[in-house]
């Protein structure tokens, strides 16, 4: 008996997100010992989270039966302190993913326009399509704000998504360019600044740092999102946040379901914010190890994008193995990288790992690119 439920016609145009391959899948498909697998396909912190964070979670395990404090007051207070904001400027989410979803659902009616970069985080398009929006994108791999501006005038989007530093390309916008751009954008267009990788960009070049308080104070149409999945090493715990003008935040709360962040996740994130020296040493490793990948690329004449994040994107050679072939070959060796074929790029995104992981990855890549 077939299903006669009249699903919304919108579902026909929807596709699911293709996640980076998990360790479990590589174990299942190739029978590789999970402890031997090098997972550098999802831009996670390769050192994990701080020991103090693990200890806080360990101590809280007996509380798993209690629903979270749905005010998330401790978590919001800690985030507010990081950004020098009041808590009413912050909304937590199940990853920054979820706050991106809130924005789409609060602003987009069917047929509304959304503007994104050609190469950008896949979820903007997915959430916007779920709302029945029309997606417009620029033509370039890295962000070109002039192209954004021209298109914005033409299509009058309800939302513009900027990802800086950008995933999966790695480029970043300077604060001055972003502010100039924002000053030219109509205040009835919401501009999302996805700052999931901002801590990395700030460390490499302070000019790329966009302070959440300043930008949302200056521009009430900016929604700034951040995450605990990257520098803080809590990707599996699903915690992100959005920052904006108080009126914007209170509207987003209307689409927020209760309890969407687990109680252990909220505790972990709150603790993670107390240990910035751990973050600092991870950032130092990231930029030291990044140099090895850049050197390798130069030696091998591999084209790459100058990265402001915790990954580097290598283009496959036009006449050599494709990115998919290389990714698959490494996967069989237990090394997970991200093939960007789904983004229409013949390129590989490689998360910068621990030194000993990078030794093995570079060795394996040399065989593929030589």
163-192 binders of a copy of itself (CB under 8 A): 187-188, 190
Find the part of the chain contacting a copy of itself (CB under 8 A) among 56-64, 175-183, 307-315, 322-330: 56-64
Binding mask of the shown chain, residues 243 to 282, with x at each position contacting a copy of itself by CB under 8 A: --x-xx--x-xxxxxxxxxxxxx--x--------------
Compute the least distance from the CB of residue 321 to a copy of itself, in Å.
27
Q: Which C-beta is closer to a copy of itself: that of 316 or that of 340?
A: 340
What distances in angstroms separate CA 321 from CA 1, 40, 79, 299, 365, one per listed residue? Answer: 47, 20, 45, 18, 11
45 binds a copy of itself (CB under 8 A): yes
Find the part of the chain contacting a copy of itself (CB under 8 A) among 36-44, 145-153, 297-305, 309-317: 36-44
Query: Phi/psi of residue 230, each to 5°?
Result: -105, -95
Considering only 31, 33, 35, 61, the residue that binds a copy of itself (CB under 8 A) is 61
Compute the least distance from the CB of residue 55 to a copy of itself, in Å.
9
Compute the least distance from the CB of residue 71 to a copy of itself, in Å.
7
Q: Which C-beta is closer to a copy of itself: that of 53 or that of 316?
A: 53
194 binds a copy of itself (CB under 8 A): no
What is the footprint of a copy of itself within residues 115-134 (CB under 8 A)? 123, 126-127, 130
44 binds a copy of itself (CB under 8 A): yes
Name the pairing type of β-strands 347-351 and 338-339.
antiparallel
Find the part of the chain contacting a copy of itself (CB under 8 A) among 11-19, 198-206, 287-295, 312-320: 11-19
CB 48 within 8 A of CB 39: no
Q: Which residues contact 194 (CB under 8 A, 6 or more apart)?
A: 96, 100, 121, 124, 161, 162, 163, 164, 225
Compute the least distance from the CB of residue 49 to a copy of itself, in Å.
6
Relative orientation angle of helices 23-30 and 323-332, to the nearest 10 degrees: 80
Query: Phi/psi of residue 46, each to 5°?
Result: -70, -10
Q: Which residue has the tokens 């929006």?
A: 133
Compute the least distance from the CB of residue 25 to a copy of itself, in Å.
7
What is the footprint of a copy of itself within residues 344-363 (CB under 8 A)? none
139 binds a copy of itself (CB under 8 A): no
Alpha-carbon span 210 to 216, nearest angstrom = 10
Considering only 40, 106, 182, 279, the residue that binds a copy of itself (CB under 8 A) is 106
CB 124 within 8 A of CB 161: yes
Choose among 69, 105, 267, 66: nearest CA to 190: 105
Considering only 62, 176, 183, 301, the residue that binds a copy of itself (CB under 8 A) is 62
19 binds a copy of itself (CB under 8 A): yes
Give the number of C-alpha atoms closer than 13 A to the C-alpha of residue 146, restricted to the C-beta side. Answer: 0
207 binds a copy of itself (CB under 8 A): no
Q: Which C-beta is closer to a copy of itself: that of 115 or that of 302?
A: 115
Alpha-carbon span 356 to 28, nearest angstrom = 25
- How is residue 21 written in tokens? 């391959």
Length of the chain in terms of residues written: 370
Q: Which residues contact 333 (CB under 8 A, 6 or more apart)?
A: 364
- How is residue 363 written in tokens? 């060795």
Considering only 66, 111, 176, 319, the residue that binds a copy of itself (CB under 8 A) is 66
- How is residue 330 written in tokens? 């490494």
Q: Which residues contact 103 (CB under 8 A, 6 or more apart)?
A: 159, 190, 192, 223, 242, 252
30 binds a copy of itself (CB under 8 A): no
What is the footprint of a copy of itself within residues 304-323 (CB under 8 A)? none
Q: Which C-beta is closer to a copy of itself: that of 91 or that of 141?
A: 91
- Binding residues with a copy of itself: total (CB under 8 A): 90
């Amino acid at each position: 008996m077939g299903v006669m439920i009249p699903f919304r016609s919108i579902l026909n145009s929807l596709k699911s997100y293709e996640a980076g391959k998990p360790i479990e899948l590589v174990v299942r498909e190739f029978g590789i010992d999970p402890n031997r697998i090098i997972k550098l396909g999802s831009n996670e912190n390769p050192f994990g989270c701080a020991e103090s964070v693990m200890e806080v979670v360990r101590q809280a395990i007996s509380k798993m039966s209690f629903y979270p404090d749905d005010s998330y007051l401790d978590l919001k207070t800690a985030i507010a302190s990081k950004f020098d904001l009041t808590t009413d400027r912050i909304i937590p989410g199940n990853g920054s993913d979820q706050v991106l979803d809130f924005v789409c659902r609060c602003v987009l009616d069917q047929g509304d326009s959304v503007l994104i970069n050609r190469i950008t985080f896949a979820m903007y398009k997915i959430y916007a399509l779920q709302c029945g929006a029309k997606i417009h994108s620029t033509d370039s791999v890295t962000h070109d704000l002039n192209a954004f501006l021209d298109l914005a005038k033409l299509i009058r989007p309800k939302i513009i998504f900027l990802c800086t530093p950008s995933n999966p390309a790695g480029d970043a916008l300077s604060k001055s360019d972003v502010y100039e751009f924002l000053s030219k954008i109509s205040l009835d267009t919401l501009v999302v600044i996805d700052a999931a990788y901002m801590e990395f960009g700030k460390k490499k070049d302070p000019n790329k740092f966009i302070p959440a308080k300043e930008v949302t104070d200056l521009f009430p149409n900016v929604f700034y999102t951040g995450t605990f999945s990257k520098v803080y090493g809590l990707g599996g715990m699903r915690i992100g946040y959005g920052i904006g003008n108080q009126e914007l935040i209170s509207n987003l709360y209307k689409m927020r379901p209760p309890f969407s962040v687990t109680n252990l996740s909220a505790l972990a994130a709150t603790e993670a914010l107390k240990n910035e020296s751990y973050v600092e040493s991870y950032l130092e490793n990231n930029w030291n190890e990044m140099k090895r990948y850049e050197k390798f690329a130069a030696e091998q004449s591999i084209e790459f994008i100058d990265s402001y994040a915790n990954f580097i994107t290598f283009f496959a050679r036009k006449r050599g193995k494709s990115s998919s072939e290389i990714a698959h070959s490494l996967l069989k060796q237990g090394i997970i990288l991200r093939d960007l074929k789904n983004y229409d790029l013949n390129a590989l995104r490689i998360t910068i790992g621990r030194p000993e992981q990078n030794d093995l990855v570079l060795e394996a890549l040399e065989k593929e690119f030589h």
